[in-house]
Chains A and B, each alone.
Chain A
Amino acid sequence: MKQEELNTKLLEIKGKLIDVEHKPHNRIFLLCESENAYAVNKFLFKNVALRFITATGIDSDDCFEILYHYSNDETGCVVTVKAFIRGRDNPAIESITPFLPGAEWIEREIHDILGIDFKNHPNLKRLILADDWPEGVYPLRKEAKK
Protein backbone atom coordinates (compact mmCIF):
# COMPACT_ATOMS: atom_id res chain seq x y z
CA MET A 1 0.00 0.00 0.00
CA LYS A 2 1.35 3.39 -1.02
CA GLN A 3 1.61 6.23 1.49
CA GLU A 4 -1.20 8.28 -0.11
CA GLU A 5 -3.55 5.28 -0.04
CA LEU A 6 -2.73 4.73 3.66
CA ASN A 7 -3.38 8.39 4.47
CA THR A 8 -6.79 8.26 2.73
CA LYS A 9 -7.76 5.06 4.54
CA LEU A 10 -6.81 6.56 7.89
CA LEU A 11 -9.28 9.40 7.27
CA GLU A 12 -12.16 6.90 7.62
CA ILE A 13 -11.39 6.39 11.33
CA LYS A 14 -10.91 10.10 12.09
CA GLY A 15 -14.13 10.33 14.13
CA LYS A 16 -12.77 8.04 16.84
CA LEU A 17 -9.46 9.88 17.22
CA ILE A 18 -8.40 12.87 19.28
CA ASP A 19 -5.60 13.81 16.91
CA VAL A 20 -3.38 12.51 14.11
CA GLU A 21 0.32 13.40 14.22
CA HIS A 22 2.65 12.91 11.27
CA LYS A 23 6.06 13.03 12.94
CA PRO A 24 8.77 12.31 10.30
CA HIS A 25 7.70 11.19 6.84
CA ASN A 26 7.24 7.53 7.85
CA ARG A 27 5.77 7.74 11.35
CA ILE A 28 2.09 8.34 12.13
CA PHE A 29 0.57 8.63 15.61
CA LEU A 30 -3.16 8.13 16.09
CA LEU A 31 -4.20 9.51 19.49
CA CYS A 32 -7.40 8.11 21.00
CA GLU A 33 -9.16 7.46 24.29
CA SER A 34 -9.08 3.91 25.71
CA GLU A 35 -12.79 3.31 24.84
CA ASN A 36 -12.09 3.74 21.12
CA ALA A 37 -8.79 1.82 21.03
CA TYR A 38 -10.42 -1.54 20.23
CA ALA A 39 -12.28 -0.17 17.21
CA VAL A 40 -9.22 1.71 15.91
CA ASN A 41 -6.99 -1.36 16.27
CA LYS A 42 -9.53 -3.62 14.60
CA PHE A 43 -9.85 -1.16 11.71
CA LEU A 44 -6.07 -0.97 11.22
CA PHE A 45 -5.62 -4.75 11.38
CA LYS A 46 -8.70 -5.95 9.49
CA ASN A 47 -9.57 -3.15 7.05
CA VAL A 48 -6.21 -1.47 6.40
CA ALA A 49 -4.37 -4.86 6.80
CA LEU A 50 -1.31 -3.46 8.57
CA ARG A 51 1.11 -5.80 10.35
CA PHE A 52 1.04 -5.68 14.16
CA ILE A 53 4.59 -5.18 15.52
CA THR A 54 4.15 -4.91 19.28
CA ALA A 55 2.57 -2.84 22.01
CA THR A 56 4.14 -0.58 24.63
CA GLY A 57 2.84 0.41 28.03
CA ILE A 58 3.85 3.74 29.56
CA ASP A 59 3.08 5.21 32.96
CA SER A 60 2.70 8.94 32.28
CA ASP A 61 2.13 11.39 35.08
CA ASP A 62 -1.66 11.64 34.87
CA CYS A 63 -2.60 8.60 32.76
CA PHE A 64 -1.40 5.31 31.36
CA GLU A 65 -0.63 5.06 27.66
CA ILE A 66 -0.80 1.90 25.59
CA LEU A 67 0.95 2.24 22.24
CA TYR A 68 0.05 -0.28 19.55
CA HIS A 69 2.61 -0.25 16.75
CA TYR A 70 1.68 -1.31 13.22
CA SER A 71 3.87 -1.49 10.15
CA ASN A 72 3.03 -0.88 6.53
CA ASP A 73 5.76 -3.13 5.16
CA GLU A 74 5.66 -1.79 1.59
CA THR A 75 6.72 1.74 2.56
CA GLY A 76 8.23 1.05 6.00
CA CYS A 77 5.73 3.45 7.55
CA VAL A 78 5.00 2.76 11.23
CA VAL A 79 1.52 3.64 12.48
CA THR A 80 1.16 3.91 16.26
CA VAL A 81 -2.17 3.96 18.07
CA LYS A 82 -1.69 5.86 21.32
CA ALA A 83 -4.53 5.00 23.71
CA PHE A 84 -4.87 7.05 26.89
CA ILE A 85 -6.23 5.35 30.02
CA ARG A 86 -7.34 8.16 32.34
CA GLY A 87 -7.26 7.69 36.09
CA ARG A 88 -4.81 5.67 38.15
CA ASP A 89 -7.29 3.41 40.01
CA ASN A 90 -8.13 0.15 38.23
CA PRO A 91 -6.82 1.09 34.77
CA ALA A 92 -8.53 -1.05 32.13
CA ILE A 93 -8.70 -1.30 28.36
CA GLU A 94 -10.37 -3.67 25.91
CA SER A 95 -8.03 -6.51 24.86
CA ILE A 96 -7.21 -6.85 21.16
CA THR A 97 -6.20 -10.53 21.52
CA PRO A 98 -9.63 -11.91 20.44
CA PHE A 99 -9.01 -10.79 16.83
CA LEU A 100 -5.19 -10.52 17.03
CA PRO A 101 -3.65 -13.53 18.83
CA GLY A 102 -0.14 -12.12 18.37
CA ALA A 103 -0.90 -9.54 21.04
CA GLU A 104 -1.58 -12.12 23.76
CA TRP A 105 1.85 -12.20 25.41
CA ILE A 106 2.61 -8.48 25.21
CA GLU A 107 -0.74 -7.75 26.88
CA ARG A 108 0.05 -10.28 29.61
CA GLU A 109 3.45 -8.62 30.09
CA ILE A 110 1.94 -5.11 30.35
CA HIS A 111 -0.62 -6.51 32.81
CA ASP A 112 2.25 -7.95 34.90
CA ILE A 113 4.42 -4.90 35.16
CA LEU A 114 1.94 -1.98 34.93
CA GLY A 115 -1.20 -3.62 36.33
CA ILE A 116 -3.47 -2.70 33.42
CA ASP A 117 -6.54 -4.92 33.14
CA PHE A 118 -7.13 -6.12 29.57
CA LYS A 119 -10.85 -6.85 29.40
CA ASN A 120 -11.93 -9.99 27.50
CA HIS A 121 -8.34 -11.27 27.34
CA PRO A 122 -8.62 -15.08 27.09
CA ASN A 123 -5.66 -15.93 29.31
CA LEU A 124 -4.53 -13.05 31.52
CA LYS A 125 -2.07 -15.00 33.69
CA ARG A 126 1.33 -13.98 35.04
CA LEU A 127 3.99 -14.10 32.33
CA ILE A 128 7.34 -12.57 33.27
CA LEU A 129 7.38 -11.82 36.98
CA ALA A 130 8.82 -14.33 39.46
CA ASP A 131 6.47 -16.95 40.94
CA ASP A 132 6.90 -15.49 44.44
CA TRP A 133 6.23 -11.90 43.34
CA PRO A 134 3.45 -10.40 45.53
CA GLU A 135 0.03 -9.74 43.96
CA GLY A 136 -0.87 -6.12 43.33
CA VAL A 137 2.72 -4.82 43.17
CA TYR A 138 3.57 -3.40 39.75
CA PRO A 139 7.32 -2.81 39.36
CA LEU A 140 7.31 -0.29 36.50
CA ARG A 141 4.68 2.07 37.91
CA LYS A 142 5.86 5.50 39.01
CA GLU A 143 4.93 4.87 42.64
CA ALA A 144 6.93 1.59 42.76
CA LYS A 145 9.71 1.62 45.33
CA LYS A 146 13.07 2.40 43.76
Chain B
Amino acid sequence: MGLKMKALKKSVWVFHVNAGACNNCDIEIVNLLTPKFDIERFGIKLVGSPRHADALLVTGVGTRQAAIRLREIYRQTPKPCIVFCIGACAGGTGIFEGGYHVAGPVDKIIREVDPNAIIAYVPGCPPKPEAMISGVLKVLSTL
Protein backbone atom coordinates (compact mmCIF):
# COMPACT_ATOMS: atom_id res chain seq x y z
CA MET B 1 0.00 0.00 0.00
CA GLY B 2 2.93 2.36 0.66
CA LEU B 3 4.01 2.77 -2.95
CA LYS B 4 0.42 2.89 -4.23
CA MET B 5 -0.48 5.59 -1.71
CA LYS B 6 2.60 7.62 -2.65
CA ALA B 7 1.63 7.40 -6.32
CA LEU B 8 -1.98 8.34 -5.48
CA LYS B 9 -0.97 11.50 -3.65
CA LYS B 10 1.49 12.66 -6.30
CA SER B 11 -1.04 13.92 -8.82
CA VAL B 12 -4.71 13.28 -8.12
CA TRP B 13 -6.85 12.78 -11.20
CA VAL B 14 -10.50 13.26 -10.43
CA PHE B 15 -13.69 11.99 -12.02
CA HIS B 16 -16.91 13.90 -11.43
CA VAL B 17 -20.06 11.88 -10.62
CA ASN B 18 -23.48 13.51 -10.36
CA ALA B 19 -25.63 11.28 -8.16
CA GLY B 20 -28.79 13.36 -8.32
CA ALA B 21 -27.48 16.85 -7.60
CA CYS B 22 -29.36 20.04 -8.40
CA ASN B 23 -26.33 21.18 -10.49
CA ASN B 24 -25.21 23.88 -8.06
CA CYS B 25 -22.32 21.80 -6.70
CA ASP B 26 -21.48 20.75 -10.27
CA ILE B 27 -21.23 24.39 -11.32
CA GLU B 28 -18.86 25.04 -8.42
CA ILE B 29 -16.75 22.06 -9.51
CA VAL B 30 -16.57 23.50 -13.02
CA ASN B 31 -15.60 26.80 -11.42
CA LEU B 32 -12.86 24.96 -9.52
CA LEU B 33 -11.33 23.78 -12.78
CA THR B 34 -11.18 27.24 -14.37
CA PRO B 35 -7.94 29.26 -14.58
CA LYS B 36 -9.06 31.44 -11.66
CA PHE B 37 -8.55 28.64 -9.14
CA ASP B 38 -6.26 26.58 -11.38
CA ILE B 39 -6.11 23.34 -9.40
CA GLU B 40 -3.70 21.84 -11.92
CA ARG B 41 -0.99 23.61 -9.92
CA PHE B 42 -1.64 20.92 -7.30
CA GLY B 43 -1.56 18.21 -9.99
CA ILE B 44 -5.35 17.79 -9.80
CA LYS B 45 -6.91 17.13 -13.19
CA LEU B 46 -10.37 16.20 -14.40
CA VAL B 47 -10.50 12.98 -16.41
CA GLY B 48 -13.23 11.48 -18.54
CA SER B 49 -13.28 7.94 -17.21
CA PRO B 50 -13.38 6.46 -13.70
CA ARG B 51 -10.72 3.94 -14.84
CA HIS B 52 -8.20 6.80 -15.08
CA ALA B 53 -9.27 8.44 -11.82
CA ASP B 54 -7.64 8.52 -8.37
CA ALA B 55 -10.57 10.33 -6.77
CA LEU B 56 -14.31 10.62 -7.32
CA LEU B 57 -16.01 13.97 -6.80
CA VAL B 58 -19.56 12.89 -5.94
CA THR B 59 -22.32 15.49 -5.83
CA GLY B 60 -25.98 14.94 -5.06
CA VAL B 61 -28.00 13.00 -2.58
CA GLY B 62 -27.54 9.54 -4.11
CA THR B 63 -30.95 8.78 -5.56
CA ARG B 64 -32.37 5.31 -5.93
CA GLN B 65 -31.69 5.42 -9.68
CA ALA B 66 -28.17 6.85 -9.33
CA ALA B 67 -27.06 4.56 -6.48
CA ILE B 68 -26.65 1.55 -8.82
CA ARG B 69 -24.52 3.62 -11.22
CA LEU B 70 -22.49 5.12 -8.37
CA ARG B 71 -21.63 1.66 -7.02
CA GLU B 72 -20.62 0.54 -10.52
CA ILE B 73 -18.41 3.62 -11.01
CA TYR B 74 -16.76 2.98 -7.64
CA ARG B 75 -16.03 -0.62 -8.66
CA GLN B 76 -14.43 0.61 -11.89
CA THR B 77 -12.13 3.08 -10.14
CA PRO B 78 -8.63 1.70 -9.49
CA LYS B 79 -7.96 1.22 -5.77
CA PRO B 80 -6.84 2.92 -3.63
CA CYS B 81 -9.10 5.84 -4.45
CA ILE B 82 -10.56 8.75 -2.52
CA VAL B 83 -14.27 9.59 -2.59
CA PHE B 84 -15.11 13.25 -2.03
CA CYS B 85 -18.71 13.91 -1.01
CA ILE B 86 -19.20 17.44 -2.30
CA GLY B 87 -22.01 19.43 -0.73
CA ALA B 88 -24.61 19.00 2.00
CA CYS B 89 -26.68 16.45 0.04
CA ALA B 90 -23.81 14.08 -0.65
CA GLY B 91 -22.54 14.40 2.90
CA GLY B 92 -25.80 13.63 4.71
CA THR B 93 -28.79 13.86 2.30
CA GLY B 94 -29.40 17.50 3.38
CA ILE B 95 -32.94 18.74 2.81
CA PHE B 96 -33.92 15.48 1.07
CA GLU B 97 -33.61 13.36 4.22
CA GLY B 98 -36.32 10.69 4.28
CA GLY B 99 -37.45 11.37 0.71
CA TYR B 100 -38.93 8.46 -1.22
CA HIS B 101 -36.26 8.67 -3.93
CA VAL B 102 -33.27 8.81 -1.57
CA ALA B 103 -30.92 5.84 -1.27
CA GLY B 104 -28.03 7.88 0.13
CA PRO B 105 -26.14 9.47 1.73
CA VAL B 106 -23.26 8.82 -0.62
CA ASP B 107 -20.95 7.35 2.03
CA LYS B 108 -23.57 4.68 2.84
CA ILE B 109 -23.85 3.70 -0.84
CA ILE B 110 -20.06 3.51 -1.25
CA ARG B 111 -19.61 1.52 1.98
CA GLU B 112 -22.00 -1.14 0.63
CA VAL B 113 -19.35 -1.87 -2.00
CA ASP B 114 -16.23 -1.25 0.06
CA PRO B 115 -16.51 -0.87 3.86
CA ASN B 116 -12.95 0.51 4.05
CA ALA B 117 -13.36 3.22 1.40
CA ILE B 118 -11.53 6.51 1.95
CA ILE B 119 -14.33 9.07 2.11
CA ALA B 120 -13.93 12.82 2.62
CA TYR B 121 -16.67 15.37 3.06
CA VAL B 122 -16.81 18.96 1.84
CA PRO B 123 -20.00 20.47 3.30
CA GLY B 124 -21.77 23.50 1.95
CA CYS B 125 -24.71 24.29 -0.29
CA PRO B 126 -22.83 24.61 -2.58
CA PRO B 127 -19.30 24.52 -1.12
CA LYS B 128 -16.92 27.21 -2.34
CA PRO B 129 -14.11 26.15 -4.66
CA GLU B 130 -11.72 27.29 -1.92
CA ALA B 131 -13.40 24.83 0.46
CA MET B 132 -12.96 22.01 -2.06
CA ILE B 133 -9.25 22.83 -2.54
CA SER B 134 -8.84 22.94 1.23
CA GLY B 135 -10.65 19.60 1.56
CA VAL B 136 -8.51 17.91 -1.07
CA LEU B 137 -5.28 19.21 0.45
CA LYS B 138 -6.38 18.17 3.97
CA VAL B 139 -7.09 14.64 2.79
CA LEU B 140 -3.78 14.40 0.95
CA SER B 141 -1.87 15.58 4.00
CA THR B 142 -3.73 13.11 6.26
CA LEU B 143 -3.21 9.99 4.15
| Chain A residues near B (Cβ < 8 Å) | 129-133, 139-140, 144, 146
Whether A130 lies near B65 (C-beta < 8 A) is yes
Can you list 14 A-B contacts with CB-CB less than 8 angstroms, sorted by A residue number?
A: A129-B101, A130-B63, A130-B64, A130-B65, A130-B101, A131-B65, A132-B64, A132-B68, A133-B64, A139-B100, A139-B101, A140-B100, A144-B100, A146-B98
Cβ–Cβ < 8 Å partners of A129 in chain B: 101
Identify 5 new A-B residue pairs, CB closer than 8 A, beyond the known A130-B64, A146-B98: A130-B63, A130-B101, A132-B64, A139-B100, A144-B100
Count B-side interface residues using an 8 Å CB cutoff: 7
**Closest CB-CB distance, A127 to chain B, in whole Å?**
12
CA A133 – CA B64 in complex, angstroms? 9
A141 vs B101: C-alpha distance when bound (angstroms): 14
Interface of B, helix, strand, loop or mixed by DSSP: mixed
A130 to B61, CA, bound (A): 14
Within 8 A of A (CB), among B23-71: 63-65, 68
Interface code B87-105, partner A: CB below 8 Å = 1, 0 otherwise? 0000000000010110000
The complex places the Cα of A132 from the Cα of B103 at a distance, in Å, of 12
How far, in whole Å, are A146 and B99 apart by their CA atoms in the complex?
8
Task: List the B side residues contacting A144 at CB < 8 Å.
Answer: 100
Q: Which 10 A-B pairs have the closest CB atoms?
A: A139-B100, A130-B64, A130-B65, A131-B65, A130-B101, A132-B64, A130-B63, A133-B64, A144-B100, A146-B98
How far, in whole Å, are A146 and B100 apart by their CA atoms in the complex? Answer: 8
Minimum CB–CB distance for B30 against chain A, Å: 26
Q: Give Cα A139–Cα B96 distance, bound, in whole angstroms.
A: 14
* Bound: A139/B101 CA distance, A: 9
Closest B residue, CB atoms, query A139:
B100
Give bound CA distance, A23 to B102, whole Å. 37
User: Closest approach, in angstroms, between the C-beta of A111 and any C-beta of chain B?
Assistant: 16
CB distance from B89 to the nearest CB of A (A): 17
A131 cross-chain contacts in B, Cβ below 8 A: 65
**Which residues of A are found within 8 Å of B100, using beta-carbon distances?**
139-140, 144
| Chain B residues in 8 Å Cβ range of A130 | 63-65, 101
A146–chain B nearest beta-carbon distance, Å: 7
Which chain A residue shows the least CB distance to B63?
A: A130
A34-B76 Cα distance, complex, nearest whole Å: 51
For A133, list chain B residues within 8 Å (CB): 64
CA gap between A85 and B100 in the complex, in Å? 24
